Chains A and B, each alone.
Chain A
């Protein structure tokens, strides 16, 4: 289990040196057409994220955080602009190639956990490995390991409705990391949790960062963003600021 959190101000802040470039977007826009009306969700965003970064995306509601996150996670393609993921041009990839990138390179954590309701934690965590084509024994071993890593070694055979919200989100984190992705993307991972449980999840993220994961978290709470090493602020589809967070 995760040790009880020390006071926030004393969290030791390691900053791992940046690795190779993972995310490189240039001048990306995203339009949504709502009947006659056109919504500019992103108006020209450029962003580089390296391996070993721990970044928060902030901004008011409707500023385009989720849109940007979906784009980074290869769930969505830009209306214009370029996106290179690990050096590969993602904007021109087919649906199945994108699925493969999502499977191997990206771990998603959602605000609403998005676990399969009738499956055990273990099976939920195995899911990405099924799509990766791993044999059952290997899947089970890796899923177990991932669950132990988020402190749920004793909840493997529980179904989501037998778990607390925080535990559910831990299962989701284990699922996101089980295939050893290049990057972990979390869109308001604490949005459905009370502040104490949310803080615990953020401690887990800190720990995962220490272990060598690259993390991007969308949030509109300063307290959450403070865990990250870098924070960008979106406003009305544009990056307003991009700075390192410090104590």
Chain B
């Protein structure tokens, strides 16, 4: 109890001395804190950027649908043994019909609906303008069941339009904006590969996938209309919605079995198709994301490290300047840890000031970025504040430790003689 009280009094005294010291050496303290400020700003801004990228990434993945399995020839992500895939038979629209039948005949199937999608890049023309590089694809009316996307106006084609291969289409948001700026595209006509299509709907804005592919640069039409314009032999895949996304893995197993039956594969034969899913994408991209985060934090961490060296330097200077004071304090009964604590608190105080100011600067920059570049993925969160405060304290302790330790070990006689 007594030692605890003494520790508290010594702590309070150290804080008092630290503040007096900082105020007495304002310029020096400000310059030293500046190093920490820059470090903290760099680290926290990198933190917000990483957070933002992460969120953007997850939003992008959500666009793929977390309850949709993709039946495709090629797996997502890098492969080395391409020769194992290249000779697989392409996915056919007929596979979709057969797969649907297999699923219908499976009791308690975990799979809900199969939708074939065939697409390619193409240019889309209106009467007086055209846009290139639009992802044009054909699918069935069931597409509405797997895509959670909203409509700005209109609707998707229905069963009758779909099976009849009517010349209708739904435009992505940006396509509609480009071709029909400031007016409704509904009822208008666009030409794809020379064929006229009547616009029956426009999707709401969706955003970009990983900042690469815009989901708003697309055009969707009935598959039976699409196959009149383009070959669908090599460009089809199947999307299968699962009933319960918490049992995605079981659903995937069921789908593999069903596809093997569709393909008439023998036991022991390797699958001649791949089931892709968002999770697999994540597995491929997560390490990349982690690497970016580590590299970013490492590089910005270096600036914090430079700040820490500044703190260490100034603490060494402070110990040197006050050697005689250390001797006096020891003569009056200060123990080693009292002296250690005193200089550690000084170092930590400067770091905390730096951390607080750095935090405020970061937040201002963050607000500025949000205001000027709303599309830029940054995210600021309270735990970032806590973390950077912790980082400042730890920086102070680590960088102050060597000089403070040296001070605590000074021989009182030598310290008192120091001029």
Instruction: Write the residues of chain A forming the contact surface with B, with a CB cutoff of 8 angstroms.
Output: 70, 73, 75-76, 95-96, 99-100, 102-104, 108, 110, 114, 116, 118-119, 127-128, 130-136, 175, 179
Do B3 and A133 have beta carbons less than 8 Å apart? yes
Looking at the assembled complex, report how far the CB atom of B63 sits from the nearest CB atom of chain A, in whole angstroms: 63
Do B334 and A99 have beta carbons less than 8 Å apart? yes
Q: Which residue of A lies closest to B338 (CB)?
A: A131
CB contacts (< 8 Å) of A99 on chain B: these are 330, 333-336
Do B413 and A70 have beta carbons less than 8 Å apart? yes
CB contacts (< 8 Å) of B13 on chain A: these are 127, 130
Residues A132 and B331 in contact in the complex (CB < 8 Å), given A95-B336, A118-B20: no
Flag B385-419 by CB within 8 Å of A: 1 or 0 each.
Answer: 00000000000000000000000000111001000
Looking at the assembled complex, report how far the CB atom of B44 sits from the nearest CB atom of chain A, in whole angstroms: 34
Do B2 and A133 have beta carbons less than 8 Å apart? yes
CB contacts (< 8 Å) of B335 on chain A: these are 95-96, 99-100, 131
Query: In chain B between 305 and 364, which residues have their CB closer than 8 angstroms to a CB of chain A?
Result: 324-325, 327-336, 338
Residues A135 and B330 in contact in the complex (CB < 8 Å), given A75-B413, A75-B416, A118-B24: no
Do B416 and A132 have beta carbons less than 8 Å apart? no
CB contacts (< 8 Å) of B328 on chain A: these are 110, 114, 116
Looking at the assembled complex, report how far the CB atom of A61 sits from the nearest CB atom of chain B, in whole angstroms: 15
Contact of A131 among B2, B5, B10, B20 (CB under 8 A): B10
Residues A110 and B416 in contact in the complex (CB < 8 Å), given A102-B333, A131-B335: yes
CB contacts (< 8 Å) of A76 on chain B: these are 411-413
Q: Which residue of A lies closest to B1 (CB)?
A: A133
Do B334 and A131 have beta carbons less than 8 Å apart? yes
Q: Which residue of A lies closest to B411 (CB)?
A: A76
CA distance A103 to B335 in the complex (A): 9
Q: Which residue of B lies closest to A132 (CB)?
A: B333
CA distance A133 to B7 in the complex (A): 8
Residues A114 and B334 in contact in the complex (CB < 8 Å), given A130-B10, A130-B13, A135-B5: no
Flag B1-45 by CB within 8 Å of A: 1 or 0 each.
Answer: 011011001100100000011001000000000000000000000
By DSSP majority rule, is chain B's interface helix, strand, loop, or mixed?
helix
Do B332 and A128 have beta carbons less than 8 Å apart? yes
Do A133 and B6 have beta carbons less than 8 Å apart? yes
CA distance A172 to B9 in the complex (A): 21
Residues A130 and B9 in contact in the complex (CB < 8 Å), given A96-B335, A100-B335, A102-B331: yes
CA distance A95 to B330 in the complex (A): 10
Residues A75 and B330 in contact in the complex (CB < 8 Å), given A130-B9, A133-B5: yes
A110-B328, A118-B24 known, 9 other contacts, Cβ within 8 Å: A95-B336, A99-B335, A102-B330, A102-B333, A108-B331, A110-B416, A127-B332, A131-B333, A131-B338
Can you report 10 A-B residue pairs in the complex whose CB atoms are below 8 A from each other?
A75-B413, A96-B336, A108-B332, A114-B324, A114-B331, A127-B329, A128-B333, A131-B10, A133-B3, A179-B333
Do A134 and B331 have beta carbons less than 8 Å apart? no
CA distance A23 to B368 in the complex (A): 71
CB contacts (< 8 Å) of B334 on chain A: these are 99, 131
CA distance A108 to B332 in the complex (A): 7
CB contacts (< 8 Å) of B24 on chain A: these are 118
Looking at the assembled complex, report how far the CB atom of A197 sits from the nearest CB atom of chain B, in whole angstroms: 21
CA distance A48 to B330 in the complex (A): 25
Looking at the assembled complex, report how far the CB atom of A137 sits from the nearest CB atom of chain B, in whole angstroms: 12
CB contacts (< 8 Å) of B3 on chain A: these are 133
Q: Which residue of B lies closest to A131 (CB)?
A: B333
Do A102 and B336 have beta carbons less than 8 Å apart? no
CB contacts (< 8 Å) of B20 on chain A: these are 118-119
Looking at the assembled complex, report how far the CB atom of A175 sits from the nearest CB atom of chain B, in whole angstroms: 7
Q: Which residue of A lies closest to B21 (CB)?
A: A118
Looking at the assembled complex, report how far the CB atom of B231 sits from the nearest CB atom of chain A, in whole angstroms: 86
CB contacts (< 8 Å) of B333 on chain A: these are 99-100, 102-104, 128, 131-132, 179
CB contacts (< 8 Å) of B412 on chain A: these are 75-76
CA distance A108 to B412 in the complex (A): 13
CA distance A121 to B351 in the complex (A): 30
Q: Which residue of B lies closest to A114 (CB)?
A: B328
CB contacts (< 8 Å) of A95 on chain B: these are 335-336
Looking at the assembled complex, report how far the CB atom of B9 sits from the nearest CB atom of chain A, in whole angstroms: 5
CB contacts (< 8 Å) of B5 on chain A: these are 133, 135
